[in-house]
Amino acid sequence: MVEKIKTTKKEESKTSGNCADKFCPFHGREAVKLRGRTFEGEVINKLPGRVKIQFDRVSYISKYERFDRRRTKLHARLPDCLKEEVHVGDWIQISECRPLSKIIHFIVTKKIRGKTAPNGVSSAEQKEKTQ
């Protein structure tokens, strides 16, 4: 019997080598090691070579014995191999690395899901239904 070998999209993107970004953790010339913390958040701004993400966190205020919801905004390096996939409103995962610039200490590792509309359907699914 012939066994089929299943490969995931992540493995395919690692082996495809279509990325010319030197800071890419999968294809880069310089070894940028992912270490430390990982976060998931929503892309609120897309800039050349980086994205700005935002996520909520809960902190405890001991004086009032209550919890407070706060927002955190971080900048992350956007590798060339993920530029076409990531858009404003998408939910992505970032991982910590060495400081790449004054404000960039994280790299985008994967896209978790696309932007969802108020009715819970992603924008890509809405486009498919209308066509």
Give the Cβ contact number of residue 108 at 10 Å.
25
Q: What pLDDT is attached to residue 123?
A: 56
**What are 7-18's pLDDT values in tens digits?**
555 555 454 557
**What are 72-114's pLDDT values in tens digits?**
999 999 998 888 889 999 999 999 999 999 999 999 999 998 8
Distances (CA, A) of 37 to 14, 33, 96, 105: 22, 12, 5, 11
User: What ranges in the chain are assigned the alpha helix state H?
Assistant: 9-16, 123-130
Task: Answer whether residue 118 shows pLDDT above 70.
Answer: no
Q: What pLDDT is attached to residue 15?
A: 44
Mean pLDDT of the chain: 83
Split at pLDDT 50, 70, 90, the class of 22 is: confident
Parse the chain into domains and list their residue ranges: 31-130
Average pLDDT over residues 37-65: 95
CATH code, residues 31-130: 2.40.50.1000
